[in-house]
């Protein structure tokens, strides 16, 4: 059965999934790149961008697991790019160049309609204006039995958690402090929402936690 998964979602020690003042020059906010120092050197990350070598071990194992059995993705509007409000034109096609690392259908949550964008490597961005459940239904239909990966950002993951729709979530807590930004778990009662700890592994780069949703 298709699951909705969050994988490789990096947090600071003080719980922020992105720094403050996000924009074109700081896609992850001020200090946000420091959350991903465990991920960027891995063989999995480097392979995504056509590079060779990279680190192996536990961090790379978690990175690789994040791409296993994924048939479609869901992204929030802010993760797709810095453009806010209505689309001024069709020029913005994401942060990732002509060949994004998704290689499947990607459903972008937005309040402003836009035609799908077909990219190199099999990625097609679809823009969903009728809510998180509609995006999930579309993504599961596209995934054809495989899992759907929820890429973020913070607000999008929070919406799906609050609705109890996330089946599995891997958080990588990096040893950095941001002090401000977008907090992932503030105000969320995860046990009441049905989530429990399933796995923990620590490395010098991150503390890896896997949470799963209890069967109803």
* pLDDT tens, residue by residue, 167-176: 999 999 999 9
43 domain-assigned: yes
In a domain, 88, yes or no: no
DSSP string, 2-45: --EEEEEEEE-TTSEEE-SS-SSS-TT-TTGGGGGTTTTTBHHH
Three-class HEC string of 148-208: EEEEECHHHHHHHHHCCCCCEEEEEECCCCCCCCEECCCCCCCCCCCEEEEEEEECCCCEE
pLDDT for the residue 50 = 83
pLDDT at residue 17 above 90? yes
CA–CA gap between residue 90 and residue 82 (Å, rounded): 14
**What confidence tier does 25 reach under pLDDT thresholds 50, 70, 90?**
confident
Q: What is the pTM of this model?
A: 0.95
Which domain CATH number covers 43? 3.40.430.10
Q: How many residues does the chain have?
A: 216
Specify if 9 maps to a domain. Answer: yes
pLDDT at 52: 86
46, part of any domain: yes
Flag whether 186 is in a domain: yes
Task: Tell me: pLDDT of 156 over 80.
Answer: yes
How much is the pLDDT for 72?
A: 98
- Residue 138, domain extent: 4-82+99-213
Q: Which long-range contacts (CB under 8 A, 24 or more apart) does 93-98 make?
A: 93/117, 93/119, 93/125, 94/119, 94/125, 95/27
pLDDT at 195 over 80: yes
Please measure the distance between the N-terminal and C-terminal CA atoms of the chain and give it in whole angstroms: 15
How many CB atoms lie under 10 A from the CB of residue 209? 18
Please report the pLDDT score of residue 44 as a whole number: 96
Nearest to 58 by CA among 208, 195, 212, 159: 208
Q: Number of folded domains in the chain?
A: 1
In order of 4, 17, 74, 143, the CA distances from 135 in angstroms are: 11, 22, 7, 12
**H-helix or E-strand spanning residue 107:** strand 105-109
What average pLDDT is seen over the chain? 95
216, pLDDT greater than 80: no
Q: What is the pLDDT of residues 46-92, one digit of tens each?
A: 998 888 899 999 999 999 999 999 999 999 999 999 988 999 999 99
pLDDT digits (tens, 9 = 90+) for 84-123: 899 999 999 999 999 999 999 999 999 999 999 999 999 9
Residue at 89 is within a domain: no
Question: Is residue 94 included in any domain, yes or no?
Answer: no
């Amino acid at each position: 059965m298709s699951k909705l998964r969050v994988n490789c979602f990096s947090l600071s020690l003080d719980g922020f999934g992105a720094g403050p003042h996000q924009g074109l020059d700081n896609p992850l906010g001020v200090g946000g790149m420091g959350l991903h120092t465990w991920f960027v050197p891995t063989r999995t990350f480097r392979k995504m961008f056509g590079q060779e070598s990279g680190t192996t071990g536990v961090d790379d194992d978690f990175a690789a697991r994040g791409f296993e059995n994924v048939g479609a993705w869901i992204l929030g509007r802010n993760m797709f790019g810095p453009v806010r409000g209505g689309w001024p034109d069709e020029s913005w096609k994401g942060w990732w160049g002509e060949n994004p690392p998704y290689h499947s259908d990607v459903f972008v949550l937005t309040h402003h309609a836009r035609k799908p964008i077909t990219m190199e490597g099999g990625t097609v961005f679809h823009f969903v204006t009728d809510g998180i459940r509609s995006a999930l239904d579309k993504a599961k239909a596209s995934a054809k039995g495989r899992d759907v990966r929820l890429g973020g950002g913070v607000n999008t993951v929070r919406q799906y958690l609050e609705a109890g729709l996330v089946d599995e979530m891997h958080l990588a807590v990096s040893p950095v402090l941001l002090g401000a930004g977008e907090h992932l778990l503030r105000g969320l009662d995860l046990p009441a929402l049905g989530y429990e700890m399933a796995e923990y592994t620590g490395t010098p780069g991150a503390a890896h936690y896997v949470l799963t949703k209890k069967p109803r």
